[in-house]
Amino acid sequence: MVFIFGAQKKFGITLLISAALFVIVGIIKVFPSASHQGYAPEQPIPFSHKRHVAEQKIPCLYCHSEAEKSRHAGVPALNVCMNCHSVVKVDSPYIQKLKKAFSEGKPIEWVRVHELPDHVYFSHKRHLAKGVACETCHGNVQAMVQIEQKEAMTMGWCMECHRGQTTPQYVLKNIYPKQKAPHGPVAPVSCNTCHN
């Protein structure tokens, strides 16, 4: 106390002001940025999920084929695109771009939309195995012309579902098939379920 209000009064005040600033700036800056809800960057090729999913009825797993086998869903390799686009819509300038990249062996660099921090472990495989549908987390992708992050994808958002608070009914039914109005926790909430 003597230290703050004594000879070095100025220092104490500086300290208090700095601390206050730190807290305010922290609250404003850090918290809103934890989520990237609504993030829909421009992509090198304006790939439309609406066209592919809603109109052409291509199942999600045709392209994101690793979602059932691995923690990653995977973005398809160019040869998967070329399965169709070697004959479909070959005149489009974007397909030309795709074709050029394929023949040159240069991958297309997509801008990442859904991204969890490096200290988070998330497995697509386990969620699919429990019957969680893609759109539960990724939103109504089949209506998106430009892919967008629909959900908050913050830790709280994950936890609410794991605890059974926001879990969709169809998932709850899978887990509690005998209950009439299924409710209850659906997944572990231990820290190391997702963090290690």
Partner 1 sequence: MDHHQQNEEPQKNDELKGFVPPRHWIGPEELDASYWQNPQVQEKRGQEFFEKPLEWMDQKLKSDQTGLARREFLTLMGASIAMASLSCTRRPVHKIIPYVVKPEQMTLGVPSWYASTCQECSTGCGVLVKTREGRPIKLEGNPDHPLNQGALCARGQASVLNLYDLDRLKAPVIRSRKEHTQNEVSWSEVDANLVKQFKGLASGLGRVRVLTSGIRSESTQRLIDDFLNSFRDGKRVDFEPLALTEIAESQELSYGNALTPLYRFDQANLILSLGADFLGNWVSPVEHAQAWSKRRKLQGQKPAQAQLSKLICFEPTLTLTGSNADERYPVRPGDELKIALGLAHLLILKQKRSVELANDPFVISLLSQYPLERVALELGLDHGLSEGGSLLFRIAVDLWNNRGKSLVVSGSLPSKTQDSLALQVITNLLNSVLGNEGSTVDGMLGYTPSHSRFAEFSQLIQEMKDGKVDALILYRTNPLYSLAGAFPGLAEIFQKVPLIISVSDRVDETGLVSDYVLPDHHYLENWGDSNPRKKVYSLQQPTIAPIHSTRAFQDSLLVWMKQGQFKQSTMVSNAGDWHEYLKNHWKETYYKEAGSSGSFEQFWEATLRAGVLNLASSQGNLGALPGSRSFKTDSLKKLMISGGLNSKDVSLALYAKISMYDGRSANNPWLQEMPDPISTVTWDNYLNISPALAKTLGVKGDDVVELRAGEVKAELPVYIQPGLHSQVVSVALGYGRQSVGKIGNQAGINVFPFIQSKGQHLVFSGQPVQIRKTGKFYKLAATQWHGATENRPIINDIILSQYRKNPSAEKHTDPHLRLEAVPSIWPAHEYKSYRWGMAIDLNSCTGCGACVIACQAENNVPVVGREQVRVSRQMHWLRIDRYYSGSPAHPDVVFQPMLCQHCENAPCETVCPVLATVHDDEGLNVQIYNRCVGTRYCQNNCPYKVRRFNFFDHWKSYEGTMSLAWNPDVTVRTRGIMEKCTFCVQRIRDAKDKAKDAGEKVKDGQFKTACQQTCPTEAIVFGDMNDPNSRVFRLKESPQAFRVLEVLNAKPSISYMTKVRNKGD
Closer residue to partner 1, CB minimum distance, 91 or 118: 118
- Alpha carbon of 55 to those of 34, 61, 63, 76, 83: distances in Å? 34, 16, 15, 19, 18
What tokens were used for 187? Answer: 């997944």
Q: Which of 6, 26, 131, 156 binds partner 1 (CB under 8 A)?
A: 26
Rounded to whole angstroms, the Cα distance separating 16 from 38 reads 37
Residue range at the interface with partner 1 (CB under 8 A); choices 15-23, 88-96, 140-148, 173-181? 15-23
Q: Which is nearer to partner 1, 77 or 133 (CB)?
A: 77
Asked whether position 70 contacts partner 1 by CB under 8 A, the answer is yes
| Candidate residues 5, 22, 62, 170; the one interacting with partner 1 per rule CB under 8 A | 22
Nearer to partner 1, 181 or 196 (CB): 196
Only one residue has tokens 């086998």, namely: 69
Among the listed residues 12, 39, 48, 174, the single contact to partner 1 using CB under 8 A: 39
What is the Cα–Cα distance from 64 to 58, expressed in whole angstroms? Answer: 11
Say which residue the tokens 């074709």 belong to: 99
Token pair in block for residue 117: 């921090």
Q: Please answer whether residues 154 and 35 qualify as being in contact, where contact means their C-beta atoms are separated by less than 8 angstroms.
A: yes
The phi and psi torsions of 103 (rounded to 5 degrees) equal -70, -25
Q: Which of residues 81-140 bind partner 1 (CB under 8 A)?
A: 101-102, 105-112, 115, 117-119, 121, 123, 125-126, 129
Select from 124, 131, 138 the least CA-distant residue to 172. 131
d(CA 159, CA 23): 26
Nearer to partner 1, 55 or 188 (CB): 188
Q: Which stretch binds partner 1 (CB under 8 A): 68-76, 87-95, 163-171, 173-181?
A: 68-76
Contact residues for partner 1, defined by CB under 8 A: 11, 14-15, 18, 21-22, 25-26, 29-30, 33-34, 36, 39, 41, 66, 69-72, 74-80, 101-102, 105-112, 115, 117-119, 121, 123, 125-126, 129, 188, 190-192, 195-196
